[in-house]
Copies of this chain bind each other. A is one copy, B any other.
Amino acid sequence: MDRLTGRSLDLCTGPLSRHGGGMNTKSAYVHGYSPQEARRLGDQADTLAGLLHAGTAYAAGSRVLEVGCGVGAQTVHLARSSPGARIVAIDRSAESLAQAQEYVTAREPWASVEWHIADLHDLPFGVGEFHHVFACFVLEHLPDPGRALAALRRVLRPGGTLTVIEGDHGSVVLHPDSIHAHEVIGHQVRLQAAAGGNALLGRALQPLLSDAGFDQVMVRPRTAYADATRPALVDGLTRKTFIAMVEAVRDQALSTGLTTAADWDRGIADLRLTAEEGGTFHYTFFKAVGVKPLA
């Protein structure tokens, strides 16, 4: 659980430390890369793959950069959707990349994926080297997403596309509703902010990409909703993705004095009710595509 400490609905990337985030780097790192965790992240990504990857398919032969690939949970879907594309996946963590390589090779053995240890702010690629860039749940961890977008824009060729996917915890709708549940979600948001990130970033993608000089910016909400008629989604989305992610910051929320054990447990218990019979859970991801101008 600590693997996801301080992070939001993060299905594809490594721990905060990759991007220089911080307060709990060490524990996140230590617990972050077990094979079990990789499998869990993969399962979560599979749950949402149809929702998030629909519409993303790159032409055969095109060179695609995935930044912050983490354990490869999204890379495998990129490879599946774009079988002829030449994917270059980067992450700051060597362990993460090793896991990603194993994970993707096992599932898409014929995929063309190069793996590089790299920081997205200091990319070891030339100007305009890529036809497309893909970043899923990465910007939400960066203190300055605009700076990151400028770095990505540099390596993109004119006319190439940037695709960014982010969640937004402000879109959570719970039934039964509970102020206590919203409080624990708020603690997650605060901890992520304290680590230099922003769990409410999805709503800001359009101005972010436009301000970073991308053209034809198109943002579409990708809404996930689970109720008792969809038990697999209740399990994969509500329980194993969202609630597990919030639960993961318990120790931090207590040690930093944000809440008490009693209040925390009450909020989590209420959150769990949304995954029971009669409960519902709603969350919106935002998927943005922008084009690097020709001139």
Interface residues of A (CB under 8 A from B): 168, 170-171, 173-175, 177, 200, 202-204, 206-207, 210-211, 217-221, 223, 225, 227-229, 277-280, 282, 284, 286
Contact = CB atoms under 8 A, between A and B. Distances in A.
Closest 3 pairs between A and B when the two form their complex, measured CB to CB: A175-B203, A206-B227, A207-B278
A285 to B, nearest CB: 10
A120 to B, nearest CB: 23
A239 B180 CA distance: 32
B210 A218 contact: no
A203 B226 CA distance: 10
Contact of A173 (B203, B206, B207, B280): B203
A180 to B, nearest CB: 15
A197 B210 CA distance: 40
Contacts of A286: 225
B219 A225 contact: yes
Given A207-B280, A278-B207, A200 B177 contact: yes
